Structure 1
Amino acid sequence: MDPAEFLDGGAVSVSAETYAVCRTDRDHPAAFATVREADETTVVVEQDDLDAVEAGDAERDWKRLTFEMDLPFELVGFLAAVATALAEAEVSVFVVSSYATDHVFVKEGDLPAAVRRLEALGCAVSD
């Protein structure tokens, strides 16, 4: 499978919400995503909910780009293609993958450049 087949004409939605990525020691019930490791827990929460999180550190102002497509586990290089294109535009990413799709977070100020790069890959980006 070629990642370009999924990117060309693939729908990508931009979240209305702005997110914060937080280092904490516990789950947050309203988190978009939670990643638990031995020494820390990372939660991604809507920035408006940040005060409710007991966060040691927080990176603010992230927008979520969701690839509105089922991505098979056998697909090799999809995130590499996306990350490389965004890196070429000097856009930093934070990625969360779910069972069927990927969510790429970019800083709010980098959103226009990220959208242009995804559109250059053939994606149909919408709010």
Structure 2
Amino acid sequence: MNPTEFLDGGTVTVSDETYTVYKTEHPESAAFATIQDENETTVVAEAGTVSGENVIESEPGWKRLTFEMVLPFELVGFLAAVATALADEDISIFAISAYSTDHVLVKEEDVPVATKKLEALGCAVER
């Protein structure tokens, strides 16, 4: 499977919400996503929704770009194609994969360039 086939004609939505990526003491119920391993807990939540006493570190100012398409497990290189396209524009990403789709967080100031780059790959970007 070619990842460009999924990008061409695919829809990407840009969140209205602005997110913060937190390193926390424990998971948060208000989180969009929680990643917990044996070393740390990372919480992605709307800005200002995580309590201060739980926060170890934080990185604010992210917008969520959601690929509104079902991505099969056999698909190889989808996220690599997206990451490479955005890296070409010097855009840092924070990627989250759900069971059937991917989300890429980019800094709020990078959204205009990121959306143009995704449109160049054939995506319809909705705000």
What TM-score does the superposition give when structure 2 sets the normalisation length? 0.97
Mind listing any 5+ residue stretches in structure 2 that lack a counterpart? Answer: none
Query: Which residue of structure 2 aligns with residue 41 of structure 1?
Result: 41
Matches of 1:123 and 1:89, distance apart in 2: 17
Give aligned pairs, total: 127
Query: Which residue of structure 1 aligns with residue 126 of structure 2?
Result: 126
Amino acid at match of 2:38: A
Matches of 1:60 and 1:24, distance apart in 2: 14
Mind listing any 5+ residue stretches in structure 1 that lack a counterpart? Answer: none
Query: Which residue of structure 1 aligns with residue 56 of structure 2?
Result: 56
Q: How far apart are residue 53 of structure 1 and its match?
A: 6.4
Matches of 1:72 and 1:96, distance apart in 2: 15
1:4 aligns with 2:7: no
Query: Which residue of structure 2 aligns with residue 96 of structure 1?
Result: 96
Conserved 8 A contact 2:7-2:123: yes
**Deviation readout 1:33-68 (Å, 9 max, x if unpaired):** 000011210000100314456211000000000000
Conserved 8 A contact 1:28-1:53: no
Matches of 2:89 and 2:47, distance apart in 1: 25
Conserved 8 A contact 1:22-1:42: yes
Conserved 8 A contact 1:13-1:125: yes
Conserved 8 A contact 1:20-1:50: no
Percent of aligned positions that are identical: 59
CA RMSD of aligned residues (A): 1.0
Query: Which range moved further: 101-110 or 46-55?
Result: 46-55
The runs of at least 4 aligned residues of structure 1 exceeding 6 Å deviation read: none
Matches of 1:89 and 1:39, distance apart in 2: 32
